[in-house]
């Protein structure tokens, strides 16, 4: 099955990237890699959301105005606000992501999407 094999290779490559970047001191670069690898699919390259139900993270009153602790908990456990058509999956749907990966992604998101207040 060429398809299944290709998928395995992609998975292995993704893991290798995460492992090599985890040891890097550059949190922001790591966060960018995590974001672009996992979160971008739903949140979009500009953070404005690429699917219905995904919030615009660039708005002033956006989810990113909340504390790190609140957001990290929701990124780890998953989150669905009342009436939302779609949920934020636990760890963005990738159980291999560590808390440190998510922390780095949040740092990258704050730096990249959050407007100066």
Task: Give the interface with ligand HEC as residue ranges (CB under 6 A).
Answer: 34, 38-39, 41-43, 53-55, 63, 66, 71, 74-75, 79-81, 84, 86-89, 92-93, 97, 102, 105
Count the Cβ atoms, other than its own, within 10 Å of residue 49. Answer: 17
Q: 84: which 2 tokens? A: 């939302």
**For ligand HEC, the closer CB: 24 or 41:** 41
| H helix intervals, the chain | 2-22, 27-34, 40-43, 68-77, 99-113
Q: Please, what is the minimum distance in Å from the beta carbon of residue 62 to ligand HEC? A: 8
Secondary-structure breakdown of the chain: helix, strand, coil percentages, each rounded to the nearest 5: 60, 0, 40
Q: How far is the CB of 68 from ligand HEC (least distance, A)?
A: 10
Q: Which is nearer to ligand HEC, 2 or 107 (CB)?
A: 107
CB of 80 to ligand HEC, least distance (A): 4
């Amino acid at each position: 099955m060429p398809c299944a094999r290709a998928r395995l290779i992609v998975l292995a490559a993704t893991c290798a990237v995460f492992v090599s970047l985890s040891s890097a001191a550059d949190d922001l670069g790591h966060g960018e890699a995590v974001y672009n690898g996992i979160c971008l699919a739903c949140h979009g390259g500009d953070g404005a959301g690429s699917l219905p139900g995904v919030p615009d993270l660039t708005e002033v009153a956006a989810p990113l105005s909340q504390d790190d602790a609140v957001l990290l908990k929701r990124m780890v456990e998953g989150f669905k606000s009342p009436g939302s058509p779609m949920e934020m999956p636990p760890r963005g749907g990738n159980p291999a992501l560590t808390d440190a990966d998510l922390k780095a992604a949040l740092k990258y998101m704050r730096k990249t999407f959050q407007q100066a207040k």
